[in-house]
Amino acid sequence: MVMKILYEDDSCFVVDKSAGILVHPAQGKKSFDGTLLEVFRAKIKWDDNNDFRPGIVHRLDMDTSGVVVIAKNREAYKNLVEQFKFRTVKKSYLALVRGIMLHKEAVIDSPIGRSLRNRKKMALVTLSLGKNAVSEYKVIKEFGNVSLLRIRIRTGRTHQIRVHMAGIGHPVVGDDTYGDKKFNKVFEDKFGLERQFLHAEMIKFKSPGTKKLKTVSSKLPDDLEAVLAKL
């Protein structure tokens, strides 16, 4: 398993995560095998060997690619957690969604919580049942029956982009959990997309070590570029 380090200093590093890789072991699992942490754990100085996600301050879904920042020690971890808490970290994603957007730019402000029908899924809920979630999107390009968006998230809820886009009737292409499996299968057969088209392209944060703002970007991976080239 090879993954590229996009930025590194004494306090943290930013990794370009490949699709199909878990960021950290699932709750209760002791093995780091097959996770991003398996590759980079040697760089992290942690005093608790029972912690199943040392240095992890945020994550990406297994089938989402792109930038992930990891703390090298507890002091840096606490600093980064505070930055995420107070929403000073800026993140943007590229997503291909089904359909043509009526509004080419918009803000989606809808709370997200556990689905009452399926506890393994998230859903749009009332604020009393979930947490506030805000995403803003802008259309980059349209391709007949799909649209490429740049999405900036102001909050970081589980499956936020996937739930928000599905909630407004434009699910992420390739997302079988919240989207249309039949549409995704036809799209896969025609264009070769084997996962959800969602990529974390940029993160901006203040390094706990240097105290300087860092903007780190990741290019769209080859598998997603190949899909766009065929559209």
Q: Report which secondary-structure segment, H or E, holds 181.
A: helix 181-191
Check 61, 109, 175, 176 and give the catalytic one. Answer: 61
State whether residue 32 is helix, strand or coil: coil
d(CA 164, CA 97): 11
33: alpha, beta or left? (left if phi > 0; alpha if psi -120 to 50): beta
Read off the tokens for 24: 């950290």
Specify whether 61 is catalytic: yes
Rounded to 5°, the CA angle 15-18-22 comes to: 90
The CA distances from residue 41 to 33, 51, 55, 189, 213, in Å, are 11, 12, 9, 38, 24
Q: Quick one: which of 79, 59, 64 has its CA closest to 12?
A: 79
d(CA 231, CA 216): 28
Q: What phi and psi values does residue 62 have, to the nearest 5 degrees?
A: -55, -40
Q: Are 99 and 120 in contact (CB under 8 A)?
A: no
- Which residues are the active-site residues? 61
